[in-house]
Amino acid sequence: MSQSPAVALTRELIRCPSVTPADAGALDVVEKALKAVGFETHRVVFSDAGTPDVDNLFAKIGSGAPHLAFAGHTDVVPPGDPARWRFDPFAAEIADGRVYGRGASDMKGAVAAFAAAALGYVERHGAPKGTLSFLITGDEEGVSINGTVKLLEWARARGERFDHCIVGEPTNVSTLGDMIKIGRRGSLNGRIRVIGKQGHVAYPHRAENPAPIIAHIVAALSGHELDKGTTHFERSNLEFSTIDIGNKAVNVIPGEARAEFNVRFNDVWTHDSLKDRIRQVIRQAAPNANVEVEFPPSNAVSFITKPGAFTELVIEAVRRVTGHTPELSTTGGTSDARFIVNYCPVLEFGLTNETIHAFDENARVADIDGLCAVYARVIERYFAG
C-alpha cells in the first residue's frame, strides 16, 4: 500500500519506543530525513543533577531573517498494558484509515508532517531566503528541564534569532482545523499541612483537632474566585486533588492533616502573586492555626501570543486546506510553547487530541496528510514574504 512521506515518517517514528526520556532512535529518524536535503543538524545532550540526561535535536537550513522554527517532541508517555491495545503500541499498524501507536497524535504525527513539508519545500525551492529550523526534544512528557528550555538557550548562545514558531501539539478537538492555541494557562501545585495536637477523642480539651481547620481551608480556597477571566483566557481555577489525615484509630484526634491542590491560572497572575493570594485566603480561613504551605518549583507560566499577521497567515493556511476557520484558544494543559514565547511569537497547531495518552492512541491518515499540507502552505507563504 502506497503512503505519503508524512505517513511513512510517522510510522517510522512510532516504531521507536521513545518513552520519556528515552530516545530509542527517534531523533535519528528526524535527523536523517533532514540531513538528506541539506539541513545542518546538531545533537545536544543536556543534564541536570537528579534528572535524566536528554538528547535534543536542532536542525536548520538557510540563514538570517525571517526565521521560522518548528518545535516538537519525540518522547511519549508509557503505553500502559499492551494487552489493552488493539495493536502493539509501537507497531504503527494502519487500520480503518488510522495509524495506531503511542505518539501517533502526541506528537510524532506532527513532527513527521512538518518534516515532510520542509523536505518538500527544499526539494522545490532549495534553501529559503531566511531560516527554517527544527527544535525537537525528548523531554516534553517528563520534567521539561533538559529539553526545550535549554535548547533555546543553547541556540541563542550560538546567535540564532527566531522570528516565529509553530509547536505541533495536538490542538484540535475533533476535526483537523478546528482550533489553534495562541496561549496556555500556567500551573501551580500547592501542599498544605495543618499541625494540631494528638489526643483522645473523649478529652478534646487536651487536643487540637486539625480536621475542621483543613476543612475550613479547603472550603475557603475552593470557593474563592481568583478572577473572572480575561479576553483570551477562561477564569483561573483551583482544584484539590487530595485531603489526607491518615488516622486509622477512630478514638484518636489526629495530630496533623494535609491537602494538595493545583491551580491553572491565566495571565492575571504570576506564580508569586498567586502564592500571595493563596496564603492570604488561608490566613483568613484559619487565622490562629499552625499551618504550613509549600509550593513545589514550577516552570509552567501563563502566556499569550496576541493575534497578528503571523496568526492570520496560519489561519489562512488552515482554512485553505481544511475548509475550517479555527478557533483561537488558550485551553488545555501546559506545553513547551511557554518557553518559546520568551524568544518569539508562538502558535500551536497539530492533530486532534481525542486519543492522546490513551489506549489505542491513533491519528487519521488523512489528517496527517492534511496537517502536512497546512504546514507546507505556511512555509510557502512565510518565505514568499
* Spacing of C-alpha 223 from chain mean position: 28
Q: What is the pLDDT of residue 143?
A: 83
CA angle at residue 170 from 169 to 173, to 5 degrees? Answer: 145
Judged by DSSP in three states, 133 sits in strand
Mean pLDDT, rounded, of the chain? 96
Residue 1 has a pLDDT of 60
The residue whose grid cell reads 531573517 is 65
**What is the β-pairing status of strands 164-167 and 346-348?**
parallel
Sheet holding 94-95, edge to edge: 94-95, 98-100, 362-364
Fold match flag (5-184+302-383 vs 186-294) = no
Residue pair 276/293 in contact (Cβ under 8 Å)? The answer is no
d(CA 19, CA 215): 39
Q: Which amino acid is at 25?
A: G
Confidence at residue 22, expressed as pLDDT on a 0 to 100 scale: 94
- Judge contact between 259 and 218, C-beta under 8 A: yes
**Distance between CA atoms of 37 and 126, rounded to whole angstroms?**
9
Other CB atoms within 10 Å distance of the CB of residue 278: 22
Burial class (CB in 10 A: 0-12, 13-18, 19+), 124: exposed
pLDDT for 299 equals 83
**Which residues in the chain show pLDDT less than 50?**
none
Contacts of 128 (CB under 8 A, 6+ apart): 61, 62, 121, 122, 379, 383
The torsion angles phi and psi of 173, rounded to 5 degrees, stand at -80, -50
Task: List the chain domain ranges.
Answer: 5-184+302-383, 186-294
Name residues whose C-beta falls within 8 Å of residue 150's C-beta, 6 or more positions apart in sequence.
Answer: 44, 46, 56
> Contact at 8 Å (CB) between 84 and 359?
yes
Matching residue, cell 546567535: 159
Integer CA distances (angstroms), 255 to 213, 252, 344, 385, in order: 12, 9, 51, 67
Residue 369: the pLDDT is 98
Note the pTM of the prediction, 2 decimals: 0.88
Residue 74: its pLDDT value, please? 97
Residue 251, pLDDT score: 96
CB-count exposure of residue 358 (10 Å: 0-12, 13-18, 19+)? middle
Catalytic sites, residue numbers = 75, 140
The CATH number fitting domain 186-294, selected from 3.30.70.990, 1.20.1250.20, 1.20.120.1200, 3.30.70.360: 3.30.70.360
Q: How far apart are CA 196 and CA 210, in angstroms?
A: 5
Q: Can you tell me whether residue 253 is helix, strand or coil? A: strand
CATH architecture entry for 5-184+302-383: 3-Layer(aba) Sandwich (3.40)
Convert the pLDDT of each residue in 203-222 to its tens digit.
999 999 999 999 999 999 99
What gap in Å lies between CA 373 and CA 142, rounded to an integer?
A: 30
Q: CA-CA-CA-CA torsion for 121, 126, 127, 132, nearest 10 degrees?
A: 10
